[in-house]
Amino acid sequence: MWNRLNKSMMFCQMMFGLSFYGVMVILTRFFLDDMGYSEADTMMVVGAFSAIGPLFAIAGGFIADKFLGAYRSLTIAYLGFAAGYSMLVAGAITKQVPMALMGIALASYARGLMSPSYPSLYRSTFKTQEDFENGFPVNYSVNNIGAFLGQYLFPMLALAVGFNGSFALSASFAAMALAVMVLNGQQMKAIAAEIDQQPVSQKNWLLFGLTSVAMIGLVFFMFANMDIGQNIVYAIGLAAIAYFTWLMIKSDKAQALKMGTILIMVILTTAFFVYYGQMMTSMNMVSINTMRGDLFGFIPFEPEAAMAMNPLWCMVAGPIIAWFFASMDKRNIHISTATRVAGSFILTAIAFGILTFAVKTIGTDVVIRPEWFFAIHGFLAFGEVIVGSMVVAFILSVAPKSIENFSVSLFSVAIAMSGIVGAAISTTIAMEKGQEITQSFVQTTYGDFYQLLTNAAVVMVIIALLSSSAITKMLASAKAQESDTEGAQAVKA
């Protein structure tokens, strides 16, 4: 199952996780301390950085399908990361907000190129769909090795070498991933889709260049004008879903039913990642304001590094989840993807229930021990690995080949829309500049907020289970329709 190419791609994914999440974890302090942003504005920018990149997977999927192919798109994405982080270095040195925003805009666009291209190219390195589905959760864990190291180490690195040194290190990691993709170019193209094996016309390069300039400019505008930017996210996301729905209506009945199941999964994914996005926004701010002490008394954790506990758990969760579901399949116990997502919402409800209890019972010292966050991130991580790896595999299994990358990009659209929604929701608990953190504030403002999210997660468990039943019936109907069509064609022949 494993070979040099998929191992090389997992190294690149680890370098992405190390560089991207290393930047993300220190952006909060960077904008609060160096750029003078408020808590609310900082949460919106950091939330947007985690969300806007996946949104532009719409453009990335179209570019991969029609202009460049998955391999070229992915290679250019790593180049974009290296260039974007280099611009962040310049912004940190000069204290220029526009330069910093342009850097994260370029990195966000690069993530949009990467998101739909990586899964389809990675799948090509496996012999069978089953090998890919079993291998993708492991890939997810490898990505989280990089994410954990980035989120854990970068807050300490920022203290030692400053924000500019940390951003420069991220640029070097992205450059390493770029070098691996270039060195494996010939072999990657050989197993990739036909478009990657053909030369790119000057017209397509020109269209790609113009599209890229326009997209990067739009992302910069969105970061600089977040009130307008969040509405742009909603508009683009809904337009992508509307276009996919139009394609579904035009398709034959069997294919339309399959595409309908993708839309249902996109809705469930959007709901789940509203919770996931809290790690970078509200939960990150809560940990900065309240988390004190070493984990288990001997593992040092900077407050803003609390989110590093998520990829730490994800590294463990990936192999366990892959083993568990593979074991179920061998025993002929097949759990549908939507049912697995329902399990993710159960884990989410437990996680936010624990968080609610922690903030509601906080003492007069207004301190929450790291162990609470460790438990919270543990439950969230298992849910994240299920949704993050298995929904993509599900989409690839039912999507039409002609719009495969675009279909995968809808998963990223779900992340983008949920990220902005989650960031906007999290601003309701933002403190004003100079406001004192008190026991009463934590118990009421934070407590009521997380209690509401916990209750909503319980409702989503029920919705996901009902959706699972609907998807099963739709896929069965699609299979029956295909059998009828094949039978009719056989009779005519």
CATH annotation of 4-492 = 1.20.1250.20
The average pLDDT across 346-359 equals 94
- Please give the pLDDT value at position 487: 60
Residue 326: pLDDT band with limits 50, 70, 90: confident
- Lookup: tokens for 212: 């890229």
The average pLDDT across 329-351 equals 86
The residue assigned the tokens 């988390």 is: 291
Whether the CB-CB separation of 26 and 163 falls below 8 Å is answered with: yes
- Please give the pLDDT value at position 174: 94
- pLDDT tens per residue, range 380-401: 989 988 887 788 888 888 887 7
Handedness of CA 407, 412, 417, 418 (dihedral sign): positive
User: How is residue 437 annotated by DSSP?
Assistant: P
Backbone dihedral angles phi then psi of residue 296, each to the nearest 5 degrees: 60, 20
The average pLDDT across 355-364 equals 93
Whether 488 shows a pLDDT value over 70: the answer reads no
The closest alpha carbon to 467, from 288, 303, 272, belongs to 272
* More confident of the two residues 467 and 191: 467
Backbone dihedral angles phi then psi of residue 192, each to the nearest 5 degrees: -80, 180
Whether 491 shows a pLDDT value over 60: the answer reads no
If 0-12 CB within 10 Å is exposed, 13-18 middle and 19+ buried, where does residue 152 land? buried
Q: Where are the beta strands (DSSP E) in 240-337?
A: none
| Start-to-end C-alpha separation, the chain | 39
What does the alpha-carbon distance between residue 42 and residue 29 come to, in Å, rounded to a whole number?
9
Helix, strand or coil for residue 291?
Answer: strand
- Please give the pLDDT value at position 492: 58
Whether the CB-CB separation of 380 and 279 falls below 8 Å is answered with: yes
Residue 350: pLDDT band with limits 50, 70, 90: very high
Q: Where are the beta strands (DSSP E) in 150-233?
A: none
Give the best-scoring range by mean pLDDT among 64-68, 137-141, 183-187, 223-227.
Answer: 183-187
- Please give the pLDDT value at position 166: 92
- pLDDT tens per residue, range 240-283: 889 889 988 888 888 888 888 889 988 899 899 888 888 878 88
Residue 490: pLDDT band with limits 50, 70, 90: low
Which helix (H) or strand (E) covers residue 477, if one does?
helix 447-492
Helix, strand or coil for residue 368?
Answer: strand
The closest alpha carbon to 482, from 246, 250, 251, belongs to 251
Whether 118 shows a pLDDT value over 60: the answer reads yes
The closest alpha carbon to 449, from 330, 331, 285, belongs to 285
Residue 338: pLDDT band with limits 50, 70, 90: confident
Which helix (H) or strand (E) covers residue 274, if one does?
helix 253-276
The dihedral formed by the CA atoms of 28, 33, 35 and 41, expressed in degrees to the nearest 10: 50
What does the alpha-carbon distance between residue 375 and residue 462 come to, in Å, rounded to a whole number?
24
Handedness of CA 305, 145, 397, 338 (dihedral sign): negative
- Percentage of the chain beyond pLDDT 90 is 23
- Please give the pLDDT value at position 319: 79
The residue assigned the tokens 């326009």 is: 214
Residue 45: pLDDT band with limits 50, 70, 90: confident
Give the best-scoring range by mean pLDDT among 153-167, 286-300, 448-462, 477-491.
Answer: 448-462
Question: What residues contact 103, with CB distance under 8 A and at least 6 apart?
Answer: 84, 85, 86, 87, 88, 89, 90, 91, 167
Whether the CB-CB separation of 439 and 240 falls below 8 Å is answered with: no
Q: Residue 72: what residue type?
A: R
- Lookup: tokens for 22: 């290393």
What does the alpha-carbon distance between residue 262 and residue 244 come to, in Å, rounded to a whole number?
10
- Please give the pLDDT value at position 165: 92
**What average pLDDT does the chain have?**
85
Residue 324: pLDDT band with limits 50, 70, 90: confident
- pTM of the predicted structure, to 2 decimals: 0.73
What does the alpha-carbon distance between residue 81 and residue 464 come to, in Å, rounded to a whole number?
35
Whether the CB-CB separation of 262 and 445 falls below 8 Å is answered with: no
- pLDDT tens per residue, range 85-116: 999 999 989 888 889 889 988 998 898 888 87
* More confident of the two residues 412 and 491: 412
Domains of the chain, residue spans: 4-492
What does the alpha-carbon distance between residue 31 and residue 48 come to, in Å, rounded to a whole number?
13
The average pLDDT across 344-360 equals 93
